[in-house]
Amino acid sequence: MKINPALPSRIYRQPERTRRWRPMRSHAAAVISGILMMVAFPKTGVYAAAFIALVPLLTVLPGLRAGVAFRLGILAGIVHYTGLLYWILPTLHTYGGLPLWVAAPILLLLATYLAAYWGLFALVCNRIAGHPRLSLVMLPCVWVALEFVRAHAFSGFPWGALGYSQYAWIQLIQMSEWTGVYGVSFLILLINMLSARAFFSDGASARLRVVAATAAVMVLLLTHFSGDMRINRINRLMTGSQSLTAVLVQGNIPQNQKWDPSFQTATVQKYTRLSAQRLKTPADLVIWPETAAPFYFGYNRPLSLYLSDFSAERQSPLLTGVPTCVVDTNKTLRYYNSALLIDTDGRESGRYHKSHLVPFGEYVPLQRFLPFIHKLTVQTGNFQAGTPGTLLDTGTNPIGPLICYEVIFPALARTAVRNGADVLVNITNDAWFGDTSGPYQHFSMGVFRAIENRRPLLRAANTGISGHIDASGCIRETARLQTEAALRVTAACPRMQTIYTRWGDGFASCCLAASFLFLLICCYKNIYYNKFES
């Protein structure tokens, strides 16, 4: 059907069949984007999918009403986060004691909240679709700004930031020592936009398509080869640096036995037995997982002495996770999820209390105002938060401990390194996740903490994944999930300070500021033109 060019374009109506199929096509594109983004992350790990995952969504957003674009973004986000975080459902049901009719809505509610950020991104994309050059720069900035806000709002939940999907492409993610994970997210968004411009841009000339495709390839190649050169330089620095020998112990204690008093002695004996297998000669540090010692240290005197004697006998400092309780000045017991260091004389030489607690796992937020919440989470702990950046000194290398999901918060690792940590140690109990993608996703984020600060990261997990990540982000050694294991590793400790360690999330902050300024300019222009037209 030909359109009369003399007629205003607004009177043209699409054929009925086209208008009928367009909503279905748009929704299908949103679902496809959500699925592609989901499979880009571990455990599925089709990492290349991240670079084209948003292309279907980006191609259908132009020309839609703002509300429709927002809803499509939310739909894509819900599909992505429901699949990415599916492991929350068995965790809440099996170990949290919640019935499925409560656990399922919680997962959906969390996915919807996280998807709202996708909705806002889709809305901005829809609004500036008519400005291709502007959108090429601003949309990656907006995406990073939204990820940055999500990492801090409501205690923060940066799990699933786009850059984490590329943890295995260590050449590409070397930029993290300057930009953090957000620089990788920016790059992935840029490649998605160039791909959409190259293959699905209506009305674009063949020349523009070739330029966009070439630019995408060149950006990836330059980033890869510059990262490869950076890895070679870091490897040379590690060769001449001081090293630390550590034994990482993975006890594989079932969660239903972990807190049973009748298994306390057997649990501790298993950890000492596994440790002894790798202690034919003393090590600089023995690392046990989060709450590997399932008793209150100091209150259970026989088991406390057992740990002290083991460390002294083997002449190896022991860092173990343990619950602790302290009587404060008001004579009130305060409970902590702690990392305890026992020196070679069998004495406690330091402890770190977990500073970023898990909402509804280690404490109930707003319990004072919403007392009924605690009835729904009867197995939730009542822990207090400690001081971030506390170091544990082995006598040779200061240790920056990170307990459980503290490793997903870049600022905590950075604070420890700024305070003088030579090594980052992540102790965790991922038995909650079972044999799902949760442990793989959790482990992958440690790669970025190592690169951002150029410090080795040693990880001991109850059921896995335990391992050694060096300062270049290379995964040197790991233990298989849900197995007993003890790894003896040698970690090189290059004492250098990165731009990220010094300035933190400066790149993400600049993206946030640019997005905010862009929003102000858009609002001003709308007000100005509306006033002018009236």
Told to judge if 280 belongs to the known catalytic residues of this protein, a careful annotator would answer: no
Q: Which of 125, 141, 404, 511 is catalytic?
A: 404
Could you give the CA distance from residue 268 to residue 304 in angstroms, rounded to a whole number? 10
The SS3 assignment for 364 reads coil
- H helices, E strands: number in the chain: 17, 12
Give the side-chain half-sphere CA count within 13 A for 138: 23
Task: At 449, list the tokens.
Answer: 């903490």
Q: Which of 125, 147, 177, 290 is catalytic?
A: 290
Distance CA 151, CA 484 (A): 34
Query: In the annotation, is 290 catalytic?
Result: yes
> Active-site residue among 141, 147, 354, 511?
354
> What is the maximal distance between C-alpha atoms in the chain?
93
Residue 414, helix vs strand vs coil: helix
192-195: long-range pairs with CB below 8 Å, 24+? 192/51, 192/52, 192/53, 192/54, 192/55, 192/58, 193/58, 193/135, 193/136, 193/139, 193/140, 194/136, 194/219, 195/51, 195/52, 195/55
CA angle, residues 129, 131, 133, in degrees to nearest 5: 120
Q: Dig out the tokens for 437 from the structure.
A: 């993608």
Rg (CA), the chain: 26
Listed in sequence order, the residues at least 6 apart from 490 whose beta carbon sits closer than 8 Å to its beta carbon are: 243, 244, 245, 246
- Sign of the torsion angle spanned by Cα atoms 198, 199, 200, 206: positive
What is the three-class DSSP state of 334? strand
Q: CA-CA distance, 461 to 223, in Å (whole number)? A: 33
Question: Which residue, 108, 68, 70, is CA-closest to 88?
Answer: 108
**d(C-alpha 521, C-alpha 534), whole Å:** 20
Judge if the upstream peptide bond of residue 43 is cis by omega within 30 degrees of 0: yes
- Compute CA distances 425 → 145, 157, 240, 338, 445, whole Å: 29, 21, 22, 13, 13
404 flagged as catalytic = yes
Question: Cα angle vertex 43, ends 42, 49, to 5°?
Answer: 55
Contact status, residue 466 vs residue 458, Cβ threshold 8 Å: no
Which residues are marked as active site?
Answer: 290, 354, 404
